[in-house]
Amino acid sequence: MARKAKGSQRDLDGKSIEEHDEPSGPSARMAAPRRGWKGAGSGRAGHVQKGSIYLGTTTQVAGLFPWIQPSGLPAEGIPIGPDLLTAELTCLDPGGWVGRLTKNTGVWIQGEPGSGKSAVTKRLCMGLAAYGHMVVVPGDVKAEYTELVRDLGGQVLKIGRGLDKINPLDSGPLGRRLKEVGAAEHEALLSEISGRRADLIQAMLTTEHGLGRRPSAEEAAAVNEAVRTVGLVTDEEPTIPDVIRILRDPTAAQLDRLLMPNVPIYIEQIRSVIAALENLCSGPLSGLFDQRTTTPLNLDSPAVAVDLSAILSAGDQVVATSLLATWAYTYSAIDTARAFGLLQRPVVLPLDELWRALRAGAGMVSAFDAITRLARSRGEINIMITHSLRDLEALPTEEDRAKAAGLMERCDTLILVAQSMAELERVSAAKPLTGPEKELVASWASPTATGIDGTTQIHPGRGKILIKIGQRLGIPVQLVLTSPELKLYDTDAAIRRSMYRQEAP
């Protein structure tokens, strides 16, 4: 406050001065006026100029003020743990931050085995389930999510001989809708179902147990025609053996539509396709995906997991083909249920062992590409977990590698756990990291921090994660698990049991 002086006043030396903007109150004698004391040599300013604003990079400004750190994330969503620098609680809300902090719902998690990738993924799944999301694990290769899904009261399908069966050609809710509509809509739905079935069969043919390549134009046309025909001649859900029977014994109408003059020439053209489909129904894959579905997906369940651990010992190619089949079946059921209003809840898809899924076949990379592009509009949260970007570089074709690179770029939430500096350089090429960020994450994987001195039972870098949202500076966080979570998220139980057996007398 300022007051207008009445008459003369005296300064601190007792001299008379004229001041019309002197502060009032008990400290008026001790505080200088806004523009300084009046009088010669008193520093009076006729005009107070506004300060100048200078911009500079963090490298330049750090020389003047070296204690720069990012602001914390909003305290909303799923709690992760304390900030390692400020001890402030750090949360994640991949869906709720779209339009404010992020442009999409994708989450990319990367790091070395045993560093905490699965634990932070399961924490996100558990939290999102509490917010009303449906947790869907279309291919749980190592049964890591089985206990979590059961704890949430969800459904677990265990695929294997003598166990649950999935028919990858099962149309799910779309097929049930087919029996309830008129002739015009019936034709449109049947075309949609046939197209999806044909796409899946062609994708399965690209695997090592199929042709090991993309079908030729003549082969693809024959498969499309057989799938369309089998949908017309049976009221039940067709299987791959049903398609093989149609291919082996074509009708005159089929030959005419395929421009084939006779059966011998037709058989010569598609002999390889028939043999490849027979391979998918025999040998290592026999009894897995060549029968009708035994237990349909329960889309009213809070969580669903398709457990493939029973076939893990059959080899990578069997697992890859199985992933292709279970992904097609699961996601087709979700997609059609959503289209008909049968599924209103948002969905979270943890895509663990990403490298296995992407190498399943040519169709998988394209499927993942389409899923991530549509995730925001569908209310889906995709959590992609991998060890290294080299997993993407190992894909067979340049087209697949280019599409796979886009998966990471479309994830605005990046979570990094312990990994080497060389790997962080690869990450930085796609998602720029600062020097201190790379040094911090690499330090968590340092061989000098192994914990072998007996003072700790776990690696000191385990559970430490760097969260980067868009282009913001990363926030280092310590994941803190509750006692129930320590049991649900334990991925080391098998190795501990193995070591115990070896040490037993």
Q: What pLDDT sits at residue 148?
A: 92
C-beta neighbour count of 456 within 10 angstroms: 12
Residues 237 and 320 in one domain: yes
Does the pLDDT of residue 231 top 60, yes or no?
yes
Q: Kindly compute the dihedral angle of the four CA atoms of residues 332, 206, 157, 378, in this order, to the nearest 10 degrees.
A: -30
Structure tokens at 80: 């992760």
Does any domain span residue 67? no
Mean pLDDT of 210-227: 87
Does any domain span residue 151? no
Q: Which of 115-119, 192-196, 260-264, 478-482 has the lowest mean pLDDT?
A: 192-196
Does any domain span residue 446? yes
Does any domain span residue 70? no
What are the phi and psi torsion angles at 468 (to 5°)?
A: -115, 125
Contact 393, 401 (CB under 8 A): yes
Contact 112, 418 (CB under 8 A): yes
Residues 491 and 363 in one domain: yes
Residues 270 and 398 in one domain: no
Residues 195 and 323 in one domain: yes
Does any domain span residue 147? no
Question: What are the strands, taking DSSP E only, across 355-485?
Answer: 380-386, 413-416, 464-469, 475-478
Residues 6 and 112 in one domain: no
Residues 270 and 291 in one domain: yes
Residues 9 and 125 in one domain: no
Q: What pLDDT sits at residue 365?
A: 73
C-alpha dist (Å) from residue 503 to 495, 496, 497, 498: 12, 11, 10, 9
Residues 340 and 387 in one domain: no
Question: What are the strands, taking DSSP E only, across 296-446?
Answer: 303-307, 347-351, 380-386, 413-416
Task: Output the domain CATH number for residue 474.
Answer: 3.40.50.300
Beta partners for 221? none
Residues 29 and 113 in one domain: no
Calculate what percentage of the chain has a pLDDT beyond 70.
80
pLDDT, tens only, 369-384:
766 666 666 778 989 8
Does any domain span residue 251? yes
Q: Is 187 helix (H, G, I), strand (E, B) or coil?
A: helix
Structure tokens at 82: 């304390």
Task: Characterize 19-32 residue by residue with b for buried, 16 or more Cβ atoms within 10 angstroms of its Cβ, and e for exposed.
Answer: beebbeeeeeeeee
Q: What pLDDT sits at residue 367?
A: 67
Mean pLDDT of 457-483: 86
Does any domain span residue 323? yes
Residues 441 and 482 in one domain: yes
Mean pLDDT of 35-64: 75
Does any domain span residue 16? yes
In which band, very low, low, confident or very high, does the pLDDT at 387 lie, cut at 50, 70 and 90? confident
What are the phi and psi torsion angles at 476 (to 5°)?
A: -80, 130
Average pLDDT, the chain: 80
Q: What pLDDT sits at residue 3?
A: 44
Q: Count of domains in the chain?
A: 3
More confident residue, 36 or 479: 479
Residues 192 and 336 in one domain: yes
pLDDT, tens only, 234-289:
777 888 999 999 999 888 888 998 989 899 999 999 999 999 899 888 878 888 88
DSSP state of 355: H
pLDDT, tens only, 397-448:
777 777 777 788 888 899 999 999 999 999 998 889 999 999 999 999 875 5
Highest mean pLDDT among 89-103, 180-194, 198-212: 89-103
Domain extent, residue 459, equals: 78-133+347-503
Distance separating alpha carbons of residues 130 and 274, to the nearest angstrom: 47
Q: Which of 14-18, 179-183, 230-234, 477-481 has the lowest mean pLDDT?
A: 14-18
Residues 333 and 203 in one domain: yes
